[in-house]
Structure 1
Amino acid sequence: MDYKVLIFSGNFQYGVVDDFIEGIVDGIGEKYQIVQVNLSDKSNLASILTASLFDNVKFIVSVNALGSDLIPHFPVMNKIPFFSLLLDHPLHSMTRFYGTNMRLLCVDKDHVNFARLVGMNAEFFPHAARVKSNSYLDKSFESKDGILFPASFFNVDAIKEKIIKFFPQGFELLNDGIVENINDFLLKLGFMDNRRTPMIQLNKNSIGVLIQCDLYLRARRRLQIIQDFAQCGVSLNIIGSGWSASTKLDTHRYYEPEPFNELIQRMVRSRFVLHHSPGFNLGLHERITYPLLHRTMVLAAGNDYLKEQFKPGSGILFYDEIDKVESLIKSVDDERYSENVTRGSEIVARNYMWSKSVSKHIQ
């Protein structure tokens, strides 16, 4: 019997997630027939979504719990292993996956803990990368220039208004000086702690507010980093949507968002890619894996997990204080740079490729 693998996808901005899905397809290889269904393409979806679609399916794969809404209509899906890669905190997909038999693949260990807390089958699936073409690779470090920071603008004030309207007490807790990311906030609310009863119950409305809290924390920290770099006179090449004349700082250069394959080429041309963790303190991010794989160093505030995965001299230049960044960067000459990106790309190629992750976790 010839088995097939069913992959549910959608329309994703800039092709970032599409690249991840292609990496997963690479990992599945030629062992199974791949059937990919774009759930965002409504034109012929009705003719595709029939009972026969699930015949001889070995397993199902999706991103961010896409396809979970089909389970009530096709009960056979309950008998087929259904893996979903969550690229963000589980809160962002919880209204989709909660109560299903999906097997969640989480890119951060704290995400795994939260998903299991709400009764889901979850495991750690580190963020990975793939090389589409060797033409991206550039071994001439003299031509590399600047610090690239992929970051879109989020309106902190608009997000703040939503939180205050529905959860004013929560907004006070967000600003008590201890909370830096959504994991800290959930702990503050009593989640992730068996000794306490959470301050709020999880339902559709509260999950929506918690997502806004997550966005607020990310946006606040992102703007602070950009301001701190400007105050230290370190220029960033910021690429992303939403920036206007009133939100741009003169120290930095701003670029409109571009397709992911073009962004990778921009990474290759950059001396460093700045990584700002969106609360993934026990996991990786594409701002780490893709630059390193393509032989560009990463600039990042250190945390224990990252430092354990990438020892000194392994492609990530860690900083503790932003006012020391300029001198740190100047200390990396071409020889040291070459040694760093060689080790860094080897680590990613050995441990963090989508294709290899699939063989370990999805079968």
Structure 2
Amino acid sequence: MILIFGVINQYGVLSHFSSGIQEDLAILGEQCTVLPVNDGELAANILNKIDHSQIKFSICMNGSGLDTALALGKTYALAVDHPLLLLPHLQKYKGYELLCIAKEHTAFANLLNIPAKDFFHAVSSKDITDTVVANIDRTDEVLFPASYMDFNAAKQALIELGVFEQIKPALEQVKSINEFLMAIGVLPNGNRPPTTALDEKVYKITCEADRYIRALSRNQVLSNYQDNGVRLSVYGRNVRKYAEEYPEHDYHEEIPYTDLLKKMEKAKYVVHNSPGFLFALHERLIFPLAKGTPVLFDATEHQKQMLNELPAIYPSSQVFNEYTTKDIEASIKKLRQSHTWIKRLSSLLI
């Protein structure tokens, strides 16, 4: 028996992950129970009916339920974003191992003495399509799943913390929060050891810097496609707030993740943007590919190292060109071989 402690989540993304993990565990012959995230009494009743001696381990999504899980035995916390954002919660507990979806997230956690290992995003076996939608049956949508991030609010927060002008050069050069942490000396940078403690003030600055970097990157994506005459279909919370500055795109409010996956399956391309992930696989990269749809992503050299066996991930300039079915088929084959939850979970079941 494996337990999954869920957490209330945006669009139902984490719920979809939990279901996918449960499905692939069943294929491996393992029973799995996903505890409800919005009914503590029901979750407690379910736990009371389970023979605790049969629990092999628990997975706590974003650290949810760590206190209960640790009392039951072996526990993993799956951080689906940078551990920095979960740090106050994660540092309350001992005795678990953190599963990280990016190599730099793992390194960050280990430097803070949180045991961690790589556990990249994956898809369930059932999520991988058997039949790629033909071009003739696709929409013309260039789909961009992205919630609104307020760049000006992030900048103002850093101004109010009294550090914006001081850290502005670093903010304009880095591509991720890990690079920012290296720039300000919290993390080692090459042969240079850490020189800055991650105290409460630096932590607050870093969280706002992360928001700034992500918001800036999102603005740049919208701007670049607009400048090149490409109309994006943007789906996400409060995205209509982008319309004044980037009016050439179509904006749609958030939809459930299962509905978004259906749109991905029929889209011409899916645009990806994730400045918080370098040596990583993100769900917005592999889920479209699993549905047979190519992805547009201007990857850094570091990111290209992770993605070189997924040929249907193209730079944004590809939007003006047709793609080959060969690239899609090769990417799907690689997902089946290496990037299902079966593959990830097998390492935990040894």
Report the TM-score range of the alignment, normalised by the length of the smaller protein: 0.7 to 0.9
What TM-score, normalized by structure 1, do the two folds share?
A: 0.85
Report the AA paired with residue 101 of structure 1: G
Partner of 1:322: none
What TM-score, normalized by structure 2, do the two folds share?
A: 0.88
Q: Is 2:76 aligned against 1:83?
A: yes
Q: Is 2:320 aligned against 1:330?
A: yes
Partner of 1:58: 56
Q: Is 2:227 aligned against 1:240?
A: no
Alignment of structure 1 residues 173-322 onto 2, 5 Å: 173-176=167-170, 177-193=172-188, 195-203=192-200, 206-244=202-240, 247-248=243-244, 249-311=246-308, 314-319=311-316
Partner of 2:327: 340
Deviation at 1:131, TM superposition (A): 5.2
Deviation at 1:223, TM superposition (A): 0.8
Q: Distance in 1 between matches of 2:196 and 2:232?
A: 40
Q: Is 2:149 aligned against 1:151?
A: no
RMSD across aligned C-alpha pairs, in angstroms?
Answer: 2.7
Distance change (3 Å), C-alpha of 1:126 and 1:330: same
Deviation at 1:211, TM superposition (A): 2.1
Distance change (3 Å), C-alpha of 1:266 and 1:86: same
Partner of 1:161: 156
Q: Deviations over 1:186-230 (max 9, x none)?
A: 101212218444434334x64344222211110111012201211
**How many percent of aligned residue pairs carry the same amino acid?**
27
Q: Distance in 1 between matches of 2:109 and 2:129?
A: 39
Which SS does the other structure have where 1:11 is aligned? coil
Q: Distance in 2 between matches of 1:347 and 1:83?
A: 26
Higher deviation after alignment, 105-114 or 183-192: 183-192
Please say if residues 25 and 31 of structure 2, whose CA atoms lie closer than 8 Å, have aligned partners that are also in contact. Answer: no
Alignment of structure 1 residues 111-150 onto 2, 5 Å: 111-130=105-124, 132=126, 137-144=131-138, 145-150=140-145
Please say if residues 297 and 337 of structure 1, whose CA atoms lie closer than 8 Å, have aligned partners that are also in contact. Answer: no
Q: Distance in 2 between matches of 1:153 and 1:8?
A: 28
Distance change (3 Å), C-alpha of 1:189 and 1:356: same
Distance change (3 Å), C-alpha of 1:127 and 1:133: closer
Please say if residues 273 and 296 of structure 1, whose CA atoms lie closer than 8 Å, have aligned partners that are also in contact. Answer: yes
Q: Distance in 2 between matches of 1:22 and 1:313?
A: 24
Which SS does the other structure have where 2:86 is aligned? helix
Q: Distance in 2 between matches of 1:195 and 1:314?
A: 36
Q: Distance in 2 between matches of 1:279 and 1:92?
A: 11
Please say if residues 80 and 101 of structure 2, whose CA atoms lie closer than 8 Å, have aligned partners that are also in contact. Answer: yes
Q: Deviations over 1:288-312 (max 9, x none)?
A: 1011111101111023344334448
Which SS does the other structure have where 1:6 is aligned? strand
Q: Distance in 1 between matches of 2:128 and 2:290?
A: 11
Please say if residues 173 and 179 of structure 1, whose CA atoms lie closer than 8 Å, have aligned partners that are also in contact. Answer: no
Which SS does the other structure have where 1:301 is aligned? coil
Please say if residues 243 and 249 of structure 2, whose CA atoms lie closer than 8 Å, have aligned partners that are also in contact. Answer: no
Which SS does the other structure have where 1:40 is aligned? coil
Q: Deviations over 1:56-111 (max 9, x none)?
A: 3211111111112447xx7x44xx22112111001111122224221111111000
Q: Distance in 2 between matches of 1:123 and 1:187?
A: 20
Please say if residues 275 and 288 of structure 1, whose CA atoms lie closer than 8 Å, have aligned partners that are also in contact. Answer: yes
Q: How many residues align?
A: 343
Partner of 2:34: 36
Higher deviation after alignment, 40-49 or 271-280: 40-49
Distance change (3 Å), C-alpha of 1:7 and 1:329: closer
Distance change (3 Å), C-alpha of 1:133 and 1:196: closer
Q: Distance in 2 between matches of 1:252 and 1:263?
A: 18
Q: Distance in 2 between matches of 1:123 and 1:36?
A: 23
Report the AA paired with residue 34 of structure 1: C
Deviation at 1:139, TM superposition (A): 2.8
Which SS does the other structure have where 1:61 is aligned? strand
Structure 2 spans left out of the alignment, 5+ residues = none
Which SS does the other structure have where 1:233 is aligned? coil
